[in-house]
Amino acid sequence: MGRPGGLTDKPFSYCPGCTHGIVHRLVAESLDELELTGRTIGVVPVGCSVTAYEFFNCDMAQAAHGRAPAVATGIKRARPDNIVFAYQGDGDLAAIGTAETVHAAARGEQITVIFINNAIYGMTGGQMAPTSLPAQITQTSPYGRDPQVAGYPLRVVEMLSTLDGVALAQRVTVDGPRNIRAAKRAIKKAFEYQRDGVGYSIIEVVSTCPTNWGLSPAAALDWLRQNMLPYYPPGVYRDVVADGHADIAQAAAARRAELAEQATGNASAGQPARRGGGDAA
């Protein structure tokens, strides 16, 4: 199987069993198939994929830790006709870059974020991440992550799915051929949404880190299935098109109207306004 045109010939430098390579390939294939590679600009984070600008065969920017969504915003605002993606890990996106992530999503930036969640800091050698699971042992949670001390992990796509600026928030995994194909469909859809101006899209990819988890590649996939997927269930958390809207503006208007109606109804019934349910989960 040859490398897609969206990747350079440079061999990946990732550890054996690391899922970065798979996801890089899915991104590159999606862009190639949509014939977008030539007008794509990627932004890579600080973390194991810090040198990913060497692997993607398009224009690339390397961003400061956590700031990829802001860098992507700057690029997209300056060149709205380009396709812009940010590729980030969990420490980058969900710890130091949470504000940039939330606000890029809230603004409905027409960018695509690929979020690699493997519940650990890889590049620095296995420290606790914002998505490390309760009781997970890492270099900086040597007795297991204690929520009483270290708090609870962030479920990023669930959190972002509440924002009107988000067109697509989906969680996938790449633990086997079937799920890899599903992940590819999600990533491709995210770029289609960007191309069509639907809104901000984020695909969270539940991933492994065999090296820092201290497991073989195969055992790491088992650990992912047994521990990660129950905590971070794959699924579509927000898809404004599937909900019957053309874009985030329409979806936001519909949600606003729905909330206003509920508020009026509740007020006449003498009850406090309550949040409407119905968001896909």
Partner 1 sequence: MSEKVLMKGNEALAEAALRAGCDCFFGYPITPQTEVAAYMARRMPKVGGVYLQAESEIAAINMIYGASAAGARVLTSSSSPGISLKSEGISYLAGADLPAVIINVQRGGPGLGGIQPSQADYWQATRAMGHGDFHVTVLAPSTVQEMCDLVALAFDLADRYRTQVMILADGLLGQMMEPVVLPEPAGADARADKPWALTGTGGVRPGNVANSLCLVADNLEARNVERFRRYEVIRDSEQRAETYLVDDAETVIVAFGACARVAKSAIDTLRRDGVAVGLIRPITLWPWPADAINAVLDGGVVRRMLSVEMSMGQMIDDVKLTVNGRIPVDFFGRSGGVVPTPAEVEGAVRRLVDAGDGAPAAAGVTAGVAAHNANNGKEA
User: Which residue ranges make up the site for partner 1 (CB under 8 A)?
Assistant: 8, 37-41, 43, 50-51, 53, 56-64, 67, 70-79, 82-83, 99-100, 102-103
Query: Cβ closer to partner 1: 34 or 60?
Result: 60
- Contacts for 141 with CB less than 8 Å, ≥ 6 apart: 128, 132, 150
Taking the complex as a whole, the smallest distance from the CB of residue 209 to partner 1 amounts, in Å, to 20
Cβ 41 to partner 1 shortest distance, Å: 5
Q: Which of 188, 157, 186 is nearest to 174 (CA)?
A: 186
List the structure tokens of 10. 């440079």
Closest approach of partner 1 to the CB of residue 203, in Å = 21
Q: Looking at beta carbons only, is 72 or 128 nearer to partner 1?
A: 72
CA distance 194 to 108: 10
- Supply the minimum distance, in Å, between the C-beta of residue 30 and partner 1: 16
Q: For residues 76 and 252, give the distance between their C-alpha atoms in angstroms, rounded to a whole number.
A: 22
Helix (H, G, I), strand (E, B) or coil at 252: helix
Q: Closest distance between partner 1 and the C-beta of residue 246, in Å?
A: 24
Question: Strand locations in 156-276, DSSP E?
Answer: 166-173, 200-206, 235-239
Task: Specify the residue, 50 or 215, whose C-beta has the smaller distance to partner 1.
Answer: 50
- Pairing mode, if any, of strands 166-173 and 200-206? parallel
Pairing assessment for the beta strands 112-117 and 235-239 based on DSSP bridges: unpaired
Output 49 or 131, the one with its CB closest to partner 1.
49
Beta-carbon neighbour count of residue 162 at 10 Å? 15
Q: Smaller CB distance to partner 1: residue 103 or 225? A: 103
Nearer to partner 1, 60 or 259 (CB): 60
Residue with tokens 């790449």: 174
What minimum distance in Å lies between the beta carbon of 126 and partner 1? 20
